[in-house]
């Protein structure tokens, strides 16, 4: 099965050359890391968190995550956990075979790892429909392809984001990934449509729990401060899986809001890049 791009031309540029220039703009932007990294070979990272809005809004923040990933060295496979914005598909939907297409080329699904995840989890369903129109996995692929064409993905879309589901998914990823060259990407934006000062204050409380690898505290703070974070389930599952794979700490790389791009701080969306290692 081929999964065609759903948001090329809207969330990012539809032509390869202009898309590459946009990605470079993200790295060189004043909110970005400032430079395009060399590919490293350390492979210490277990998971990463990146935003999924249009590149002109969240791309410079996302570039911090991809700078860290590139500098760490590319794994064989990225497990990309994303929220379900469309409402299509089952509660937890995996696309277990085929390839995804972007303007920068094709990315194959790691069918072996996807099969193992289905074997160790009782709640992951095969359901391609959840992925057809969902942007929150797709937008990460061009950033990865910019640096390397030789990797695979396992896309998992989470409509169910309660803590027990996140624990089940995180533990399944740990079990299926041990001994494999895998990195988890959790796709999320943070506070939606609040004044910038409110978004910053509340998002920092949630981020403190995330970089402490404490998914329970993260949920408590999301509920306590009514944080409209769209991918809390993917982040929680990533914390659990990363910890199971040996992660001992997290690090916030960059936080900004859409207001830092547009100049309108009256109603913003919060974006963060972080790594778990």
Domain around 40: 2-276
Cβ-contact 232, 219 below 8 angstroms: yes
Q: CA 143, CA 104: separation in Å to the nearest integer?
A: 10
Kindly list the distances between the CA atom of residue 180 and the CA atoms of 76, 115, 171, 177, in Å, as whole numbers in the listed order: 8, 14, 15, 5
| Count of domains observed in the chain | 1
Q: CA 115, CA 134: separation in Å to the nearest integer?
A: 22
What is the greatest pairwise CA distance in the chain?
48
Q: Check which CATH number belongs to the domain holding 140 and give it.
A: 3.40.830.10
How many C-beta neighbours within 10 Å does residue 201 have?
13
Q: CA 117, CA 251: separation in Å to the nearest integer?
A: 27
Beta-carbon contacts of residue 17 (< 8 Å; ≥ 6 apart): none
Structure confidence by residue, pLDDT tens digits, 9-36:
999 999 999 999 999 999 999 999 999 9
Structure confidence by residue, pLDDT tens digits, 67-90:
999 999 999 999 999 999 999 999
Structure confidence by residue, pLDDT tens digits, 188-244:
999 999 999 999 999 999 999 999 999 999 999 999 999 999 999 999 999 999 999
Q: Which residue has the tokens 């996140």?
A: 166
Report pLDDT for 187: 98
Q: CA 247, CA 119: separation in Å to the nearest integer?
A: 24
Report pLDDT for 63: 98
Structure confidence by residue, pLDDT tens digits, 135-193:
999 999 999 999 999 999 999 999 999 999 999 999 999 999 999 999 999 999 999 99
Tokens of 255: 């936080």
Tokens of 145: 């392809």
Confidence (pTM): 0.98
Q: What's the start-to-end Cα distance of the chain, in Å?
A: 34
């Amino acid at each position: 099965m081929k999964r065609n791009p759903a948001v090329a031309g809207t969330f990012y540029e539809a032509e390869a050359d202009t898309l590459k220039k946009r990605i470079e703009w993200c790295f060189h932007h004043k909110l970005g890391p400032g430079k395009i990294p060399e590919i490293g070979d350390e492979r210490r990272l277990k998971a990463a968190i990146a935003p999924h809005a249009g590149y002109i809004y969240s791309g410079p923040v996302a570039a911090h995550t991809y700078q860290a990933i590139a500098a760490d060295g590319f794994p064989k496979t990225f497990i990309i956990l994303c929220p379900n914005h469309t409402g299509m598909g089952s509660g937890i939907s995996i696309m277990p075979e085929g390839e995804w297409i972007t303007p920068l080329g094709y990315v194959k699904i790691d069918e072996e790892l996807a099969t193992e995840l289905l074997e160790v989890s009782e709640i992951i369903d095969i359901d391609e429909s959840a992925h057809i129109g969902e942007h929150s996995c797709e937008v990460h692929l061009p950033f990865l392809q910019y640096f390397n064409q030789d990797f695979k993905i396992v896309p998992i879309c989470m409509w169910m984001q309660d803590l027990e589901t996140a624990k089940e998914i995180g533990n399944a990823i740990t079990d299926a990934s041990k001994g494999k060259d895998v990195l988890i990407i959790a796709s999320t934006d943070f506070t939606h449509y609040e004044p910038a000062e409110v978004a910053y204050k509340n998002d920092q409380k949630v981020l403190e729990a995330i970089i402490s690898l404490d998914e329970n505290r993260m949920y408590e703070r999301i509920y306590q401060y009514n944080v409209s974070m769209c991918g809390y389930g993917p982040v929680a599952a990533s914390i659990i899986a990363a910890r199971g794979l040996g992660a001992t700490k997290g690090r916030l790389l960059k936080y900004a809001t859409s207001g830092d791009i547009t100049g309108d701080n009256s109603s913003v969306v919060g974006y963060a890049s972080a790594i778990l290692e």
